[in-house]
Chain A
Amino acid sequence: MFLKNLALAGALAGLMGSAAIAADCGPSGHSVRVLGSDFPAIQAVTGTAETNCAANAGEFTITLRDNTRDLMNQALTPNPAEYTSVIVANSTLTQLMNDGLVRPLNDLVEKYGANLRPNQLITIDGDVMAVAFMANSQHLFVRTDILEQAGVEGIPSTVEEVVAAAEAIRAAGIMKHPLVMNMNVGWNVGEVFNLFYFAHGGELFKPGSAEPNVNNETGVAALNSIKSLIEYAHPDHLSQASNETQGLWEAGQAALGIMWGSRGGAILDGEGSTDEITSNTVLAAAPTVAGGAIPAATLWWDGVTIAKNIPDEDAEATFAALASALTADMVAEHNDDAIWLIEGFQPGPAAAGVSATAAGGAKPYPMIPFVNLMHNALGSELVDFYKGDETAEEALADVEAAYTTAAKEAGFLN
């Protein structure tokens, strides 16, 4: 739905033409220091901001690297903070807000946010804490040629259909393990549980509290859905994350995949794979489960925050510089680098999966202060179930026990 609106907005923006006016970079001579993850969309945003406003700033540095979440809290804690802005996602915004390290942006948005659309603003109780610029989610990847060869009609839309298609491919002797999923121990194992638990209608915590709420029938159903799928997954799945699954896909060793939308562009481009594979790869909505309507996926955004422990002028200059990059002009130049939430985005084939998943009503990844602890407990304790050493109930009881121990130490539970 939101992407349809975007397309419309894009068309409008296109009609109006790109009125190239000099970017408003805020007060001059101040310091802009941006930290972000290293992938094309963030490179595009920070690169454009630098082109627009580096001349206006006294200092303009961009630090893009892996695992920014491991260092962002430490980097923003001193006063003045190491960076004036951190590019975050749902889960990392919570992490920064837990320690009160980012500032509300309401006045800055009013002053410099003319290009921003209302749904880009991430608000907590009315305070704008971040400005999102791109969306992401997991969804289904299919190889239509192999499905056809195995006699499967259409694109599977439910977990049961995905399993049936995988079985058909196996039975036809085309591939023994036609499915790829990011099941690497740790964060990915926890995230896969989230996908299916939310699709089954589960909530990770008891309403209004930090008490865990996963050891129940919904949790067991979610685990069984996952188990029915990994039956067809590569035997090494517990050590495979995005890089490995993308590699298997591009090598033609998989016909069905549950992977990140942000990998769609990389898979569909001409690099690293053959034309036969890329031309038959279709990105579709994440599958639904057990007759439900919610796709098994979590919706994510990436966005801009401004550090709290910095001078107000630096904050203003930083926000102005980054906002100057969140425009239709930037999107026009980098359309296929991401699923942009910014005006002017033209959804292409690489965006189809995320778009369909969001339209299907998938849940956003929760922004709850203690969700990291739950995610960690899920990631380490569910492995015994996937290996076949424990029943679903035992594994879920272990998750709750591990989470409770950690949450007590972190001060969320007594």
Chain B
Amino acid sequence: MKHRTFFWFILPTLSAMILFIALPIVSVFIQSLFIQHEQVIVESESCGPFGCTPTSSVDTEATAKLREEQPLGRFNGFNTYANRSHLAFAEVGEAWHTTDSLGGFIDAVMDLPFYKALIFTLSYTFVVTPLVIVLGLAIAVGVNKLPKLIKGPSIFVSLLPFLVTPLVGSLILFWMVDGDGIIGATLQLIFDDPSLSIKASTPLMWIMLMVYGVWHTLPFSFITFYAGLQTVPQDILEAARIDGASKWQSMMLVVVPHLMPLVSFVTLMLLMDNFRVFEPIVSFNAQAHATSLSWFIYNDLRESGNPLYASAGATSMLTILGVVILLTPVLIRTWRDFNRKSH
């Protein structure tokens, strides 16, 4: 294809990508470099049904004037990235100097909100992703071997978790694990401990979030692998059988290598999805025990009356950076495979 033709061919896609992907990211990045204007505070007295109290209020006129002079806010550079809510360089440094053991240092760092969220986000990603891939492949192989009559219904049932809206699915599980719910009450009965509560224990909450994550994303890897299994060449499998390969050997040495490109694809998708885990935390009301980077962005934008755009922007940029770091090994691998095949 000539360069000129290629340019016109790609132009619509390219402009859409610039408009809807690149520009918003640039805008979020710019926003993360600025913080709000200094608020002009005036002392005042407020009176109401419960008497009068001295208080303060924002001088909106003076503040509006400041805002007009600098519409973006005050330039803050990368300070938002370095503050306590994000990478917390000062606090980490102080923890390094004031703690005398590695354990103490790790404890101090894990008390910082960003690292606390990061460790949950990473644990979630690295537990859920491999489990979903392995289990998805196992279910796909199992369903593929079923007689035709029950194959259709089993595929449908296996896909069900994917059809349930994440928010609704996690809410249902949330009610089930309640002390009065079927799972919670059964666990209390089994362990003979009426105060056993999944919602009150950090490790149990983490396990529940991860179990939910596996349950919910399993159908995606299952259906992808199932589709891939339909393309496995039967003659190679037959040849392997003639050569005396066991079922396990032909699975590991023929089927899995054949599905490898799909495994890369599923891994990419799952890493991205799991790294931005969000809905289960909200609907399980799990913020006391687990927070994620996406939950932070949500909290900054919504929870306080003054939305913290810079903070949310900085967390967004760090999330993008995290996704890029996570995906790099998989991308390099895909690139190598591609090069090898094309030569």
Residues of chain A touching chain B, judged by Cβ–Cβ distance below 8 Å, are: 2, 69-70, 73, 90-92, 94-95, 97-100, 119-125, 132, 135, 176-177, 184-187, 208, 210, 234-239, 299, 301, 341, 358, 364, 366-369, 372-373, 375-376, 379-380, 383-384, 386-387, 390, 394, 398, 401-402, 404-406, 408-412, 414
Known: A98-B58, A124-B46. A176 touches B200 (CB 8 A): no
Q: Measured between C-beta atoms, what is the minimum distance from B160 to chain A in Å?
A: 27
B36 touches A368 (CB 8 A): no
Complex: A122 Cα to B57 Cα, angstroms = 14
Query: Is the beta-carbon distance between B35 and A132 smaller than 8 angstroms?
Result: no
B85: contacting residue among A121, A236, A402, CB under 8 A: A402
- Could you mark each residue 20-56 of chain B with 1 if its beta carbon is under 8 Å from any beta carbon of chain A, else 0? 0000000000000001111101011111111101011
Known contacts A366-B55, A367-B55; is-contact A122 B179 (Cβ 8 Å): no
Q: Report the separation of the CA atoms of residues A372 and B307 in the bound assembly, to the nearest whole angstrom.
A: 10
Contact status A412-B199, CB under 8 Å: no
Pairs A-B, 5 closest by C-beta atoms: A100-B60, A372-B305, A235-B197, A95-B305, A411-B36
Contacting A at CB under 8 A, from B263-317, are 285, 287-289, 299, 302-306, 308, 310-311
How distant is the Cα of A6 from the Cα of B194 in the complex, in angstroms? 47
- Let me know if A364 and B57 touch, CB within 8 A: no
- Complexed CA–CA distance, A214 and B280 (Å): 32
Within the assembled complex, what's the spacing in Å between the Cα atoms of A59 and B329? 60
5 contacts between A and B (CB under 8 A): A100-B58, A238-B288, A379-B303, A402-B85, A406-B304
Q: How far is the CB of B95 from chain A (nearest CB, A)?
A: 12
Asked if B246 lies at the interface with its beta carbon under 8 angstroms from chain A, I say no
B96 CB to closest chain A CB (Å) equals 17
CB distance B39 to A410 under 8 Å? yes
A387 touching B288, Cβ below 8 Å = yes
Question: For the complex, what is the distance from the CA of A119 to the CA of B56, rounded to whole Å?
Answer: 20
Task: Specify which chain B residues have a CB less than 8 angstroms from the CB of A237 in the assembled complex.
Answer: 200
Do B48 and A97 touch across chains, with their CB atoms under 8 A apart?
Answer: no
Q: Does B202 contact A (CB under 8 A)?
A: yes
Is there contact, CB below 8 Å, between B45 and A384?
no
Are the CB atoms of B58 and A369 closer together than 8 Å?
yes
Contact A406–B35 (Cβ < 8 Å): no
Smallest CB separation, B269 vs chain A (Å): 31
A185 near B56 with CB under 8 A, answer: no
CB nearest to B202 among chain A residues: A387
B61–A121 contact, CB under 8 A? no
Nearest-Cβ distance from residue B149 to partner chain A, whole angstroms: 45
Task: Choose from B39, B43, B194, B311 the contact partner of A411 (Cβ within 8 Å).
Answer: B39
Pair A406/B50 contact, Cβ less than 8 Å: no
Contact for B64 among A100, A368, A369, A405, CB less than 8 A = A100
CB-CB under 8 A from A70, the residues of chain B are 302
Cβ–Cβ contact A236 & B56, under 8 A: no
| B76 partner residues in chain A, CB cutoff 8 A | 409
Say yes or no for B333: interface residue by CB 8 A criterion. no
Tally of A-B Cβ pairs under 8 angstroms: 167
Excluding A408-B83, A409-B310, A411-B38, 18 further A-B contacts by CB distance (< 8 Å) are A94-B57, A98-B60, A135-B50, A208-B56, A210-B41, A235-B179, A235-B196, A236-B199, A238-B200, A301-B48, A366-B55, A367-B46, A369-B57, A380-B299, A383-B288, A394-B111, A402-B113, A412-B41
From known contacts A372-B304, A411-B74, infer whether A184 and B285 are also in contact, taking CB-CB under 8 Å.
Answer: yes
A402 touches B50 (CB 8 A): no
Distance A414 CA – B74 CA, assembled complex (angstroms)? 11
Closest-CB distance, B91 to chain A (whole angstroms): 8
Complex contact B288–A405 (CB within 8 A): no
Out of B47, B58, B305, name the residue touching A123 (CB < 8 Å).
B47
Is the Cβ of A408 less than 8 Å from the Cβ of B35? Answer: yes
A409 and B49 within 8 A (CB): no
B200 A236 Cβ-Cβ under 8 A: yes
Residues on A with C-beta less than 8 A from B179 are 234-236
- Taking a contact as CB atoms closer than 8 A, the residue among B41, B49, B61, B199 that contacts A369 in the complex is B41
With an 8 A cutoff between CB atoms, is B195 at the interface?
Answer: yes
Task: Tell me the complex Cα distance, A398–B88, Å.
Answer: 13
The answer to whether A369 and B85 touch across the interface, beta carbons within 8 angstroms, is: no
Report B68-92 residues with CB < 8 Å from chain A CB: 74, 76, 80, 83-85, 91
Are A119 and B113 interface neighbours, CB within 8 A? Answer: no
- Interface assignment of B238: CB less than 8 Å from any CB of chain A: no
How many Å lie between the Cα of A412 and that of B74 in the bound state?
13
**Which single residue of chain A is at the shortest CB-CB distance from B47?**
A123
Q: How far in angstroms is the closest Cβ of chain B from A304? A: 13
Whether a CB of chain A sits under 8 angstroms from the CB of B178 is yes
Q: Which residues of chain B are near A414, meaning CB under 8 Å?
A: 38
A401 and B44 alpha carbons, distance in the complex (Å) = 27
* Complex CA–CA separation, A72 to B50 (angstroms): 25
Give B105-137 interface residues, CB cut-off 8 Å to A. 111, 113
Q: Are A406 and B58 in contact (CB under 8 A)?
A: no
Taking CB atoms, residues of chain A closer than 8 Å to B50 are: 2, 135, 299, 301, 358, 364
**B46 and A122 contact, CB distance less than 8 A:** yes
Q: How far is the CA of A409 from the CA of B311 in the complex (A)?
A: 8
Instruction: Considering the complex, give the chain A residue whose CB is closest to the CB of B188.
Output: A235
Distance of A366 Cα from B56 Cα, bound (Å)? 10
Query: Which B residue sits closest to A298, measured CB to CB?
Result: B50
The answer to whether A411 and B60 have CB atoms under 8 Å apart is no
Partner of B48, one of A119, A208, A373: A119
Q: Mark B195-210, 1 if CB is under 8 A from A, else 0.
A: 1110110100000000
Q: CA–CA, A31 to B94, complex, Å?
A: 59
B55–A373 CB distance below 8 A:
no
Using A235-B195, A369-B58, A411-B74 as known contacts, say yes or no to A341 and B49 having CB atoms under 8 A apart.
yes
**Chain A residues positioned under 8 Å from B38 (CB to CB):** 411, 414
Cβ–Cβ < 8 Å partners of A412 in chain B: 39, 41
A372 with B44: CB separation less than 8 A: no
From B41, B50, B287, B310, residue with most partner A Cβ within 10 Å: B50
